Amino acid sequence: QVQLVESGGGSVQAGGSLRLSCAASGDTSSVKNMGWFRQAPGKEREGVATIFTGGSSTTVSNSVKGRFTISQDNAKNTVYLQMNNLKPEDTAVYYCAAKGWGPSLAAYDYEYWGQGTQVTVSS
């Protein structure tokens, strides 16, 4: 199976930055795409960004485009989410997820999930 562990969450002021990390372990041979999702209280889980782990192809949601960047370090089996110019509406629990072939921002397409890390942005 695949295990995912997120880290890097915390509390920041509006306009600040955070970098989230997701370390993958276990049998990762079937993982071809990874994604970041977020869920605020009372809201549906929202796709934020995805990356094709076998190349450089990425997708970013319109709500964070220009502020967030997804990247990877394959040697470390780790995916990152660099979050700049954070806004209060970015406050949520952020989750890392993994799937096979085919990029997707839909949560129901993903098989493996981390436990999440809290991001809080104050004004």
pLDDT of residue 24: 97
CA distance 26 to 110: 16
Question: Tell me: the pLDDT tens digits for 4-24?
Answer: 999 999 999 999 999 999 999
Q: How far is the C-alpha of 32 from the C-alpha of 43, rounded, in Å? A: 28
What DSSP string runs through 58-110?
EEE-TTTTTTEEEEEEGGGTEEEEEE-S--GGG-EEEEEEEESSS----GGG-
- 122 falls in which pLDDT band (50, 70, 90)? very high
Of 41, 42, 8, 2, nearest in space to 22 by CA: 8
What letter does residue 53 receive in the DSSP assignment?
T
Contact 70, 103 (CB under 8 A): no
**How far apart, in whole angstroms, are the C-alpha atoms of residue 57 and residue 88?**
29
Q: What is the pLDDT of residue 74?
A: 87
Pairing of strands 117-122, 10-13: parallel
Give the confidence band of 56 by pLDDT, cuts at 50, 70, 90.
Answer: confident
Q: Is the pLDDT of residue 63 over 90?
A: yes
pLDDT tens digits, one per residue of 18-44: 999 999 999 999 999 999 999 999 999
Supply 5's token pair. 């562990």
